[in-house]
Structure 1
Amino acid sequence: MKKSFILLILPIMFLFYSCNKQSEPKFTVDPNPVIKQAMENKKNLIVIFESETCHYCDKLNREVLKDMEVKQSLIKNNVEIAIVNVDGKRKVLDPEGKKEVDEQTLAGIYRVTGYPTIAVFLPDKNYELYGVIPGFIPKDYFIMLADFVGSKCYQKIDSFQKYVENGGKC
């Protein structure tokens, strides 16, 4: 009886612990210094708009942005990543408008309606919005995006989609 009680109670305790376990805190890195530094140093800038409850945002962070190969690609291609909380109140620099607004307003400026939303701003385009990719993208696709931006293929072909269709060639 005791043995079966212990066998029954252990899974329940595990389930209770895992459901109550706090997830990693989100939005711990202030995006404003990242945006400002990227612009001051003429780096390529990707702003990722996320929400607190977005599971695909968590997946993007966990499976893509924390991946060493992705990190190396971002460094190689001179790309900075700023993550913006679509409901946030922190002040951030709008790369295109060059004015500070709160995170929620920035999401509104770029008409962000789904999460994550990946927005690309390029130094040689004066940080005007180059393009937006709505939703989660896998690691290989994200590396291709960094390569597309870093190699300035956008000057040779008219879209990232064509770059992907060309197998990562300009």
Structure 2
Amino acid sequence: MESTIDRPMADPEIARLNADIQRLQVETTKLIAEKLKAEAEKLKLDSETSKLDIEKSKLDAEKAKLNAERRKLNLQTRWLPIAEKSRADAERSRADVEKLMVDIEKSRADVEKLMADAEKSRADAEKSKHYAEKAKLRAETRKLNLQTRWLPMIEGAGLLGVGIALVKLYFP
């Protein structure tokens, strides 16, 4: 078989091969250009996607900021008044407890005073009982004295009516 190097080429065949090579080079260049154009379009789309992702992130951040503001306003308008009311109720309760503690101390002092008064009254009652017993004994002594000493004299003197009057006078 004869090699292509040994065989002389004809000018028209070389021209045709050169034309084919040029045509293939043009087509290859076109394909490379289309590939580069497609890659550029892909990069452009990726860039647009990145821009959109950044815009979405900004919007998400703004949404989060607005949600935080909404929660803050909700807290201020809904929960803060409830917390303030609870705080005020706690202060009132604390004041009521302090007032009750003062009242308890006053009541304790009053009870101690009443117990001292009761003890004094008990002592006074003991004294009164002692004096009543003494008075009863004196009355009994007078009665016996009258019966044993004066009544026989009055009866003997005929003054029984005077004696009865004296007895009624001393012992009503």
- Greater helix fraction, Structure 1 or Structure 2: 2
Q: TM-score of the superposition, structure 1-length normalised?
A: 0.22
Structure number with the higher strand fraction is 1
Please report the TM-score for the alignment, with normalisation by the length of structure 2.
0.22
Considering only CA atoms, is the larger Rg found in Structure 1 or Structure 2? 2
Larger RCO, structures 1/2 (Cα 8 Å, 6+ apart)? 1
